Structure 1
Protein backbone atom coordinates (compact mmCIF):
# COMPACT_ATOMS: atom_id res chain seq x y z
CA UNK A 1 0.00 0.00 0.00
CA UNK A 2 1.41 3.39 -0.99
CA UNK A 3 1.83 6.31 1.42
CA UNK A 4 -0.98 8.17 -0.37
CA UNK A 5 -3.33 5.18 0.02
CA UNK A 6 -2.47 4.89 3.72
CA UNK A 7 -3.18 8.61 4.25
CA UNK A 8 -6.58 8.20 2.62
CA UNK A 9 -7.53 5.56 5.21
CA UNK A 10 -7.17 7.99 8.12
CA UNK A 11 -10.51 9.03 9.61
CA UNK A 12 -10.60 12.35 11.45
CA UNK A 13 -13.74 11.32 13.34
CA UNK A 14 -12.76 7.74 14.22
CA UNK A 15 -14.81 6.65 17.28
CA UNK A 16 -11.90 5.01 19.13
CA UNK A 17 -8.55 5.96 17.61
CA UNK A 18 -6.99 9.43 17.60
CA UNK A 19 -5.26 10.78 14.49
CA UNK A 20 -1.89 10.12 16.12
CA UNK A 21 -2.80 6.48 16.85
CA UNK A 22 -4.09 5.94 13.32
CA UNK A 23 -0.92 7.40 11.81
CA UNK A 24 1.22 5.09 13.96
CA UNK A 25 -0.79 2.03 12.93
CA UNK A 26 -0.51 3.00 9.26
CA UNK A 27 3.18 3.94 9.63
CA UNK A 28 2.81 7.48 8.32
CA UNK A 29 3.82 10.82 9.79
CA UNK A 30 0.79 12.86 10.85
CA UNK A 31 2.14 15.79 8.79
CA UNK A 32 1.03 13.78 5.76
CA UNK A 33 -2.54 14.73 6.61
CA UNK A 34 -1.84 18.39 5.91
CA UNK A 35 0.32 18.31 2.79
CA UNK A 36 -1.52 20.70 0.48
CA UNK A 37 0.14 24.16 0.69
CA UNK A 38 -2.00 27.25 1.09
CA UNK A 39 -1.99 29.71 -1.78
CA UNK A 40 -2.03 33.49 -2.12
CA UNK A 41 -1.57 35.82 -5.07
CA UNK A 42 1.93 35.77 -6.61
CA UNK A 43 2.51 39.30 -5.25
CA UNK A 44 1.52 38.34 -1.72
CA UNK A 45 3.76 35.26 -1.82
CA UNK A 46 6.73 37.44 -2.82
CA UNK A 47 5.88 39.91 -0.08
CA UNK A 48 5.53 37.18 2.52
CA UNK A 49 8.87 35.62 1.64
CA UNK A 50 10.60 39.01 1.88
CA UNK A 51 8.82 39.77 5.15
CA UNK A 52 9.75 36.41 6.66
CA UNK A 53 13.45 36.83 5.88
CA UNK A 54 13.55 40.41 7.16
CA UNK A 55 11.51 39.67 10.28
CA UNK A 56 13.99 37.01 11.40
CA UNK A 57 16.62 39.75 11.67
CA UNK A 58 14.28 42.54 12.81
CA UNK A 59 11.57 40.99 15.02
CA UNK A 60 10.69 44.42 16.42
CA UNK A 61 9.32 45.60 13.04
CA UNK A 62 5.57 46.10 13.11
CA UNK A 63 3.35 46.32 10.04
CA UNK A 64 3.97 50.04 9.43
CA UNK A 65 7.76 49.77 9.51
CA UNK A 66 7.64 46.61 7.41
CA UNK A 67 5.51 48.46 4.85
CA UNK A 68 8.14 51.21 4.67
CA UNK A 69 10.88 48.60 4.19
CA UNK A 70 9.00 46.87 1.39
CA UNK A 71 8.16 50.13 -0.41
CA UNK A 72 11.26 52.23 0.16
CA UNK A 73 13.97 49.56 0.18
CA UNK A 74 12.58 46.85 -2.09
CA UNK A 75 10.52 49.02 -4.45
CA UNK A 76 7.06 47.59 -3.86
CA UNK A 77 3.91 49.73 -3.85
CA UNK A 78 1.75 48.24 -1.09
CA UNK A 79 -0.32 49.74 1.69
CA UNK A 80 -0.17 48.97 5.40
CA UNK A 81 -3.61 47.34 5.36
CA UNK A 82 -2.31 44.57 3.12
CA UNK A 83 0.77 44.07 5.28
CA UNK A 84 -1.29 43.90 8.47
CA UNK A 85 -3.36 41.15 6.90
CA UNK A 86 -0.22 39.25 5.91
CA UNK A 87 1.24 39.66 9.40
CA UNK A 88 -1.87 37.99 10.78
CA UNK A 89 -1.80 35.27 8.14
CA UNK A 90 1.86 34.53 8.87
CA UNK A 91 1.44 34.66 12.63
CA UNK A 92 3.98 37.46 13.01
CA UNK A 93 3.96 39.59 16.16
CA UNK A 94 6.49 42.36 16.62
CA UNK A 95 8.38 42.40 19.90
CA UNK A 96 8.93 45.54 21.92
CA UNK A 97 12.47 46.78 22.44
CA UNK A 98 11.52 48.12 25.87
CA UNK A 99 8.83 46.98 28.32
CA UNK A 100 5.50 48.72 27.99
CA UNK A 101 4.64 51.11 30.78
CA UNK A 102 0.89 50.68 30.45
CA UNK A 103 -0.96 48.30 32.73
CA UNK A 104 -1.81 44.99 31.09
CA UNK A 105 -5.41 43.84 31.08
CA UNK A 106 -5.34 40.73 33.34
CA UNK A 107 -7.81 38.96 31.05
CA UNK A 108 -5.34 39.13 28.17
CA UNK A 109 -2.56 37.40 30.10
CA UNK A 110 -3.35 33.76 30.73
CA UNK A 111 -0.39 32.42 32.70
CA UNK A 112 2.82 33.91 34.13
CA UNK A 113 6.23 33.73 32.51
CA UNK A 114 8.21 31.23 34.62
CA UNK A 115 11.59 31.32 32.86
CA UNK A 116 13.04 34.50 34.32
CA UNK A 117 16.15 33.57 36.38
CA UNK A 118 15.28 29.87 35.96
CA UNK A 119 18.35 27.62 36.03
CA UNK A 120 17.86 24.95 33.39
CA UNK A 121 19.78 21.87 34.50
CA UNK A 122 18.23 18.74 32.96
CA UNK A 123 16.32 17.33 30.00
CA UNK A 124 12.53 17.64 30.11
CA UNK A 125 12.74 20.38 32.72
CA UNK A 126 11.52 22.88 30.13
CA UNK A 127 9.93 22.50 26.71
CA UNK A 128 9.22 25.40 24.39
CA UNK A 129 6.89 25.33 21.42
CA UNK A 130 5.98 27.67 18.59
CA UNK A 131 4.57 27.90 15.06
CA UNK A 132 6.33 29.51 12.10
CA UNK A 133 5.49 30.37 8.50
CA UNK A 134 7.35 28.36 5.82
CA UNK A 135 7.67 29.89 2.30
CA UNK A 136 7.57 27.52 -0.66
CA UNK A 137 7.95 27.74 -4.41
CA UNK A 138 4.17 27.69 -4.77
CA UNK A 139 2.28 28.70 -1.69
CA UNK A 140 3.21 28.32 1.96
CA UNK A 141 2.70 26.13 5.01
CA UNK A 142 3.21 26.29 8.76
CA UNK A 143 5.57 24.34 10.97
CA UNK A 144 5.08 23.54 14.64
CA UNK A 145 7.90 22.20 16.82
CA UNK A 146 8.71 21.38 20.43
CA UNK A 147 12.26 21.85 21.72
CA UNK A 148 13.88 20.59 24.92
CA UNK A 149 15.65 23.73 26.13
CA UNK A 150 18.40 22.06 28.15
CA UNK A 151 19.71 19.97 25.25
CA UNK A 152 18.29 22.03 22.32
CA UNK A 153 16.89 18.78 20.92
CA UNK A 154 13.86 19.09 18.66
CA UNK A 155 11.64 16.49 20.27
CA UNK A 156 8.85 16.59 17.73
CA UNK A 157 7.51 18.61 14.82
CA UNK A 158 4.72 18.77 12.28
CA UNK A 159 3.76 20.73 9.17
CA UNK A 160 0.27 21.90 8.25
CA UNK A 161 -1.63 24.27 6.00
CA UNK A 162 -3.52 25.73 8.96
CA UNK A 163 -2.72 26.83 12.50
CA UNK A 164 -5.67 25.22 14.25
CA UNK A 165 -5.51 24.15 17.88
CA UNK A 166 -6.23 20.48 17.09
CA UNK A 167 -2.97 20.28 15.15
CA UNK A 168 -1.04 21.70 18.09
CA UNK A 169 -2.77 19.40 20.58
CA UNK A 170 -1.89 16.35 18.46
CA UNK A 171 1.77 17.34 18.46
CA UNK A 172 1.80 17.92 22.23
CA UNK A 173 0.08 14.63 23.03
CA UNK A 174 2.33 12.70 20.66
CA UNK A 175 5.45 14.23 22.21
CA UNK A 176 4.34 13.46 25.77
CA UNK A 177 3.53 9.88 24.75
CA UNK A 178 7.04 9.50 23.33
CA UNK A 179 9.14 11.29 25.96
CA UNK A 180 6.96 11.70 29.03
CA UNK A 181 5.75 15.02 30.41
CA UNK A 182 8.09 17.98 31.00
CA UNK A 183 8.14 19.96 34.22
CA UNK A 184 7.40 23.26 32.46
CA UNK A 185 5.80 24.05 29.09
CA UNK A 186 6.47 27.50 27.61
CA UNK A 187 4.66 29.10 24.67
CA UNK A 188 3.39 32.42 23.46
CA UNK A 189 -0.19 33.56 24.05
CA UNK A 190 -1.47 32.37 20.69
CA UNK A 191 -5.04 31.14 20.58
CA UNK A 192 -3.86 27.57 20.01
CA UNK A 193 -1.93 27.51 23.28
CA UNK A 194 -4.48 29.38 25.38
CA UNK A 195 -7.38 27.19 24.23
CA UNK A 196 -9.17 25.23 26.93
CA UNK A 197 -8.37 21.93 25.21
CA UNK A 198 -4.63 22.61 25.03
CA UNK A 199 -4.49 23.82 28.64
CA UNK A 200 -6.42 20.73 29.76
CA UNK A 201 -3.73 18.47 28.27
CA UNK A 202 -1.02 20.32 30.18
CA UNK A 203 -2.97 20.28 33.43
CA UNK A 204 -3.83 16.62 32.96
CA UNK A 205 -0.12 15.82 33.04
CA UNK A 206 0.62 18.20 35.95
CA UNK A 207 2.82 20.38 33.73
CA UNK A 208 3.58 23.91 34.89
CA UNK A 209 2.32 26.43 32.33
CA UNK A 210 4.52 29.36 31.30
CA UNK A 211 3.55 31.96 28.70
CA UNK A 212 5.45 34.83 27.14
CA UNK A 213 4.34 38.39 27.62
CA UNK A 214 2.46 39.69 24.58
CA UNK A 215 4.83 41.22 22.08
CA UNK A 216 7.84 39.56 23.71
CA UNK A 217 8.86 36.87 21.24
CA UNK A 218 12.36 36.72 22.73
CA UNK A 219 10.88 35.15 25.86
CA UNK A 220 10.66 32.04 23.66
CA UNK A 221 14.20 32.54 22.35
CA UNK A 222 15.33 28.93 22.02
CA UNK A 223 12.66 27.87 19.56
CA UNK A 224 13.06 31.21 17.74
CA UNK A 225 16.75 30.41 17.21
CA UNK A 226 15.81 27.05 15.75
CA UNK A 227 13.45 28.72 13.25
CA UNK A 228 16.29 30.93 12.11
CA UNK A 229 18.62 27.94 11.73
CA UNK A 230 16.28 25.76 9.68
CA UNK A 231 15.25 28.63 7.39
CA UNK A 232 18.73 29.95 6.66
CA UNK A 233 20.44 26.57 6.52
CA UNK A 234 17.76 24.65 4.60
CA UNK A 235 14.50 26.29 3.48
CA UNK A 236 15.80 29.51 1.94
CA UNK A 237 18.63 27.72 0.11
CA UNK A 238 16.26 25.44 -1.77
CA UNK A 239 12.59 26.37 -1.34
CA UNK A 240 10.42 23.23 -1.20
CA UNK A 241 8.25 22.35 -4.18
CA UNK A 242 5.14 21.01 -2.46
CA UNK A 243 4.24 19.55 0.90
CA UNK A 244 5.97 16.20 0.43
CA UNK A 245 9.19 17.96 -0.53
CA UNK A 246 8.91 20.18 2.54
CA UNK A 247 8.33 17.19 4.81
CA UNK A 248 11.41 15.42 3.45
CA UNK A 249 13.57 18.55 3.82
CA UNK A 250 12.44 19.15 7.39
CA UNK A 251 12.95 15.52 8.37
CA UNK A 252 16.48 15.50 6.95
CA UNK A 253 17.38 18.79 8.60
CA UNK A 254 16.10 17.84 12.05
CA UNK A 255 17.95 14.54 11.89
CA UNK A 256 21.12 16.52 11.13
CA UNK A 257 20.28 19.17 13.74
CA UNK A 258 19.73 16.65 16.53
CA UNK A 259 22.51 14.19 15.77
CA UNK A 260 25.32 16.08 13.99
CA UNK A 261 25.00 19.85 14.28
CA UNK A 262 27.25 21.05 17.11
CA UNK A 263 25.83 23.77 19.37
CA UNK A 264 28.25 26.16 21.02
CA UNK A 265 25.94 26.90 23.95
CA UNK A 266 25.81 23.25 25.04
CA UNK A 267 29.52 22.51 24.70
CA UNK A 268 29.90 22.12 20.93
CA UNK A 269 28.09 18.78 20.83
CA UNK A 270 24.84 17.71 19.10
CA UNK A 271 21.61 17.90 21.12
CA UNK A 272 21.06 14.13 21.16
CA UNK A 273 24.35 13.66 23.00
CA UNK A 274 23.21 15.91 25.83
CA UNK A 275 19.62 14.72 25.93
CA UNK A 276 20.26 10.98 25.76
CA UNK A 277 23.25 10.95 28.13
CA UNK A 278 21.54 12.91 30.88
CA UNK A 279 18.24 11.05 30.45
CA UNK A 280 20.05 7.75 31.00
CA UNK A 281 21.79 9.13 34.09
CA UNK A 282 18.59 10.46 35.68
Structure 2
Protein backbone atom coordinates (compact mmCIF):
# COMPACT_ATOMS: atom_id res chain seq x y z
CA UNK A 1 0.00 0.00 0.00
CA UNK A 2 1.59 3.27 -1.14
CA UNK A 3 -0.12 5.37 1.54
CA UNK A 4 1.17 3.12 4.32
CA UNK A 5 4.71 3.26 2.91
CA UNK A 6 4.52 7.04 2.68
CA UNK A 7 3.35 7.34 6.29
CA UNK A 8 6.20 5.08 7.40
CA UNK A 9 8.68 7.18 5.45
CA UNK A 10 7.40 10.36 7.07
CA UNK A 11 7.54 8.75 10.50
CA UNK A 12 11.18 7.80 9.98
CA UNK A 13 12.09 11.13 8.34
CA UNK A 14 9.77 13.82 9.74
CA UNK A 15 9.83 17.17 7.97
CA UNK A 16 12.09 19.68 9.69
CA UNK A 17 10.78 23.17 10.26
CA UNK A 18 12.46 25.88 8.22
CA UNK A 19 14.49 28.08 10.58
CA UNK A 20 13.35 31.70 10.21
CA UNK A 21 15.57 34.07 12.17
CA UNK A 22 15.90 37.84 12.06
CA UNK A 23 18.32 40.26 13.68
CA UNK A 24 17.55 43.98 13.70
CA UNK A 25 20.76 44.92 15.47
CA UNK A 26 24.08 43.52 16.68
CA UNK A 27 24.23 40.93 19.43
CA UNK A 28 20.86 39.32 18.74
CA UNK A 29 21.61 36.28 16.56
CA UNK A 30 24.92 34.45 16.29
CA UNK A 31 25.66 31.63 13.88
CA UNK A 32 28.56 29.25 14.30
CA UNK A 33 30.28 26.41 12.52
CA UNK A 34 33.52 24.45 12.42
CA UNK A 35 35.74 24.12 9.35
CA UNK A 36 38.83 22.10 8.55
CA UNK A 37 42.20 23.80 8.03
CA UNK A 38 44.84 21.77 6.15
CA UNK A 39 47.70 20.65 8.37
CA UNK A 40 51.36 19.99 7.53
CA UNK A 41 50.75 16.67 5.76
CA UNK A 42 47.94 15.12 3.75
CA UNK A 43 45.17 13.86 6.01
CA UNK A 44 46.14 16.10 8.93
CA UNK A 45 43.74 18.92 9.78
CA UNK A 46 43.07 21.53 12.43
CA UNK A 47 39.55 22.61 13.34
CA UNK A 48 38.57 26.29 13.27
CA UNK A 49 35.55 27.23 15.40
CA UNK A 50 33.97 30.49 14.19
CA UNK A 51 31.00 32.44 15.56
CA UNK A 52 29.42 35.31 13.60
CA UNK A 53 27.01 38.11 14.49
CA UNK A 54 24.65 37.95 11.50
CA UNK A 55 23.51 41.58 11.57
CA UNK A 56 26.99 43.08 11.32
CA UNK A 57 28.91 40.05 9.92
CA UNK A 58 31.36 40.67 12.76
CA UNK A 59 33.35 37.61 13.86
CA UNK A 60 32.72 37.54 17.60
CA UNK A 61 34.58 34.31 18.30
CA UNK A 62 37.35 32.27 16.69
CA UNK A 63 39.40 29.38 18.04
CA UNK A 64 41.59 26.75 16.39
CA UNK A 65 42.08 23.33 17.99
CA UNK A 66 43.62 20.00 16.94
CA UNK A 67 40.21 18.34 16.75
CA UNK A 68 36.47 18.92 16.98
CA UNK A 69 35.00 18.76 20.46
CA UNK A 70 31.72 19.92 21.96
CA UNK A 71 33.57 20.76 25.18
CA UNK A 72 35.99 23.04 23.29
CA UNK A 73 33.06 24.59 21.42
CA UNK A 74 31.35 25.34 24.72
CA UNK A 75 34.53 26.98 26.02
CA UNK A 76 34.64 29.18 22.92
CA UNK A 77 31.02 30.19 23.45
CA UNK A 78 31.53 31.05 27.12
CA UNK A 79 34.52 33.23 26.26
CA UNK A 80 32.68 34.89 23.38
CA UNK A 81 29.62 35.64 25.50
CA UNK A 82 31.77 37.02 28.32
CA UNK A 83 33.32 39.51 25.88
CA UNK A 84 30.39 40.40 23.63
CA UNK A 85 27.37 39.53 25.72
CA UNK A 86 24.90 36.68 25.44
CA UNK A 87 22.78 36.64 22.25
CA UNK A 88 19.11 35.80 22.04
CA UNK A 89 19.65 33.00 19.51
CA UNK A 90 22.55 30.74 18.50
CA UNK A 91 22.16 29.00 15.16
CA UNK A 92 24.21 26.14 13.76
CA UNK A 93 23.98 23.18 11.45
CA UNK A 94 23.39 19.61 12.57
CA UNK A 95 26.99 18.59 13.10
CA UNK A 96 28.01 16.44 16.05
CA UNK A 97 29.15 19.34 18.22
CA UNK A 98 26.22 21.57 17.29
CA UNK A 99 23.65 18.99 18.36
CA UNK A 100 25.58 17.78 21.41
CA UNK A 101 24.13 17.67 24.92
CA UNK A 102 27.05 19.83 26.07
CA UNK A 103 26.04 22.75 23.84
CA UNK A 104 22.34 22.22 24.50
CA UNK A 105 22.91 22.36 28.27
CA UNK A 106 25.07 25.49 28.04
CA UNK A 107 22.56 27.42 25.94
CA UNK A 108 19.67 26.24 28.09
CA UNK A 109 21.43 27.43 31.24
CA UNK A 110 21.99 30.83 29.62
CA UNK A 111 18.38 30.96 28.34
CA UNK A 112 19.58 31.24 24.74
CA UNK A 113 17.33 29.87 22.01
CA UNK A 114 19.08 27.07 20.10
CA UNK A 115 18.36 26.90 16.37
CA UNK A 116 19.47 24.36 13.78
CA UNK A 117 19.59 24.04 10.01
CA UNK A 118 17.55 21.40 8.30
CA UNK A 119 19.52 18.27 7.41
CA UNK A 120 21.67 18.74 4.29
CA UNK A 121 20.45 22.31 3.66
CA UNK A 122 23.54 24.54 3.58
CA UNK A 123 21.44 27.64 2.82
CA UNK A 124 20.05 27.42 6.35
CA UNK A 125 23.42 28.60 7.68
CA UNK A 126 24.37 31.10 4.95
CA UNK A 127 26.49 33.48 7.00
CA UNK A 128 28.90 30.81 8.21
CA UNK A 129 29.03 29.12 4.79
CA UNK A 130 29.73 32.42 3.05
CA UNK A 131 32.43 33.41 5.51
CA UNK A 132 34.26 30.10 5.13
CA UNK A 133 34.33 30.70 1.36
CA UNK A 134 35.72 34.19 1.95
CA UNK A 135 38.40 32.65 4.16
CA UNK A 136 39.44 29.78 1.92
CA UNK A 137 39.35 31.67 -1.37
CA UNK A 138 41.42 34.54 0.01
CA UNK A 139 44.78 34.89 -1.81
CA UNK A 140 46.60 34.75 1.53
CA UNK A 141 45.06 31.42 2.57
CA UNK A 142 47.94 28.91 2.57
CA UNK A 143 47.96 25.49 0.97
CA UNK A 144 48.92 24.00 4.34
CA UNK A 145 49.63 25.14 7.89
CA UNK A 146 52.93 23.98 9.34
CA UNK A 147 51.59 23.51 12.85
CA UNK A 148 48.77 24.45 15.21
CA UNK A 149 50.46 27.71 16.20
CA UNK A 150 50.71 28.80 12.57
CA UNK A 151 47.01 28.09 12.05
CA UNK A 152 46.03 30.04 15.15
CA UNK A 153 48.15 33.05 14.24
CA UNK A 154 46.80 33.09 10.71
CA UNK A 155 43.17 32.91 11.81
CA UNK A 156 43.58 35.64 14.41
CA UNK A 157 45.25 37.94 11.87
CA UNK A 158 42.72 37.17 9.15
CA UNK A 159 39.74 37.76 11.43
CA UNK A 160 41.21 41.05 12.68
CA UNK A 161 41.63 42.27 9.10
CA UNK A 162 38.19 41.06 8.07
CA UNK A 163 36.43 42.67 11.02
CA UNK A 164 38.14 46.05 10.73
CA UNK A 165 39.14 46.44 7.07
CA UNK A 166 36.84 44.35 4.86
CA UNK A 167 34.11 46.48 3.26
CA UNK A 168 31.15 44.15 2.95
CA UNK A 169 28.54 44.70 0.22
CA UNK A 170 25.83 43.15 2.41
CA UNK A 171 26.21 45.89 5.03
CA UNK A 172 26.46 48.96 2.83
CA UNK A 173 30.21 48.65 2.16
CA UNK A 174 30.89 49.25 5.82
CA UNK A 175 33.29 47.12 7.82
CA UNK A 176 31.77 44.57 10.19
CA UNK A 177 33.34 46.39 13.14
CA UNK A 178 31.76 49.71 12.17
CA UNK A 179 28.30 48.12 12.05
CA UNK A 180 28.81 46.01 15.16
CA UNK A 181 29.98 48.95 17.27
CA UNK A 182 27.42 51.41 15.89
CA UNK A 183 29.86 53.59 13.93
CA UNK A 184 28.44 53.05 10.44
CA UNK A 185 25.85 55.87 10.47
CA UNK A 186 28.38 58.45 11.61
CA UNK A 187 30.89 57.40 8.98
CA UNK A 188 28.20 57.49 6.29
CA UNK A 189 27.42 61.09 7.29
CA UNK A 190 31.12 61.92 7.07
CA UNK A 191 31.33 60.42 3.57
CA UNK A 192 28.26 62.40 2.49
CA UNK A 193 29.80 65.63 3.77
CA UNK A 194 33.12 64.85 2.08
CA UNK A 195 31.40 64.21 -1.25
CA UNK A 196 29.38 67.43 -0.96
CA UNK A 197 32.55 69.41 -0.31
CA UNK A 198 34.31 67.78 -3.26
CA UNK A 199 31.36 68.55 -5.56
CA UNK A 200 31.28 72.18 -4.45
CA UNK A 201 35.00 72.62 -5.08
CA UNK A 202 35.22 70.69 -8.36
CA UNK A 203 31.74 70.29 -9.93
CA UNK A 204 33.27 69.45 -13.32
CA UNK A 205 34.54 66.15 -11.93
CA UNK A 206 30.99 64.89 -11.38
CA UNK A 207 29.09 63.62 -14.42
CA UNK A 208 25.59 64.39 -13.07
CA UNK A 209 23.91 66.70 -10.60
CA UNK A 210 22.93 63.72 -8.48
CA UNK A 211 24.94 62.95 -5.40
CA UNK A 212 26.85 59.64 -5.54
CA UNK A 213 24.84 56.90 -3.88
CA UNK A 214 25.97 55.78 -0.46
CA UNK A 215 24.70 52.32 0.38
CA UNK A 216 22.60 52.04 3.51
CA UNK A 217 23.03 49.43 6.20
CA UNK A 218 20.09 46.97 5.96
CA UNK A 219 17.40 47.26 8.63
CA UNK A 220 17.51 43.53 9.31
CA UNK A 221 19.50 40.39 8.60
CA UNK A 222 17.53 37.22 7.94
CA UNK A 223 17.99 33.50 7.76
CA UNK A 224 15.16 32.31 5.48
CA UNK A 225 13.06 35.45 5.24
CA UNK A 226 9.38 34.38 4.98
CA UNK A 227 7.86 34.82 1.50
CA UNK A 228 5.08 36.99 2.95
CA UNK A 229 7.67 39.41 4.32
CA UNK A 230 9.43 39.59 0.96
CA UNK A 231 6.14 40.29 -0.83
CA UNK A 232 5.22 43.01 1.67
CA UNK A 233 8.58 44.71 1.15
CA UNK A 234 8.20 44.62 -2.62
CA UNK A 235 4.71 46.09 -2.36
CA UNK A 236 5.78 48.91 -0.04
| Residue 246 (structure 1) aligned with residue 151 (structure 2) | yes
Match of 1:124, SS? Answer: coil
User: Could you say which residue in structure 2 is the equivalent of 1:68?
Assistant: none
What is the match of residue 191 of structure 1? 96
Query: Are 1:137 and 2:40 counterparts?
Result: yes
Q: Which has the higher helix share?
A: 1
Could you give the per-residue CA deviations for residues 84-110 of structure 1, whole angstroms, max 9, x where no partner exists?
A: xxxxxxxxxxxxxxxxxx63647897x
Instruction: Give the TM-score, by structure 2 length.
Output: 0.68
Query: Which residue of structure 1 lines up, in the alignment, with residue 27 of structure 2?
Result: 124
Residue in 2 that maps onto 1:269: 174
Say whether 1:174 aligns with 2:44. no
Of 127, 147, 160, the match for 1:255 = 160
Q: Conserved in 1, the CA contact under 8 Å of 2:37 and 2:145?
A: no
Alpha-carbon separation, structure 1, partners of 2:160 and 2:130: 17
**Structure 1 residue aligned with 2:10:** 103
Q: Which structure has the higher relative contact order (CA within 8 Å, separation 6+)?
A: 2
Equivalent pairs, count: 175
In structure 2, stretches of 5+ residues that fail to align are 1-8, 184-236
Contact 1:144 1:157 in 2 (8 A): yes
Q: Which of the pair is proportionally richer in strand?
A: 2
Structure-1-length-normalised TM-score:
0.57
Q: Determine if the alignment matches structure 1 residue 225 to structure 2 residue 130.
A: yes
Partner residue of 2:108 out of 197, 203, 227: 203
Contact 1:187-1:211 at 8 Å conserved across structures: yes
Deviations along 1:177-220, whole A, 9 cap, x unmatched? 11111111101112212222211111111111110011112210
| Aligned-residue RMSD, C-alpha | 2.4
Larger radius of gyration: 2
Structure 1 segments unaligned to the other structure (5+ residues)? 1-101
Which residue is equivalent to 2:53? Answer: 148
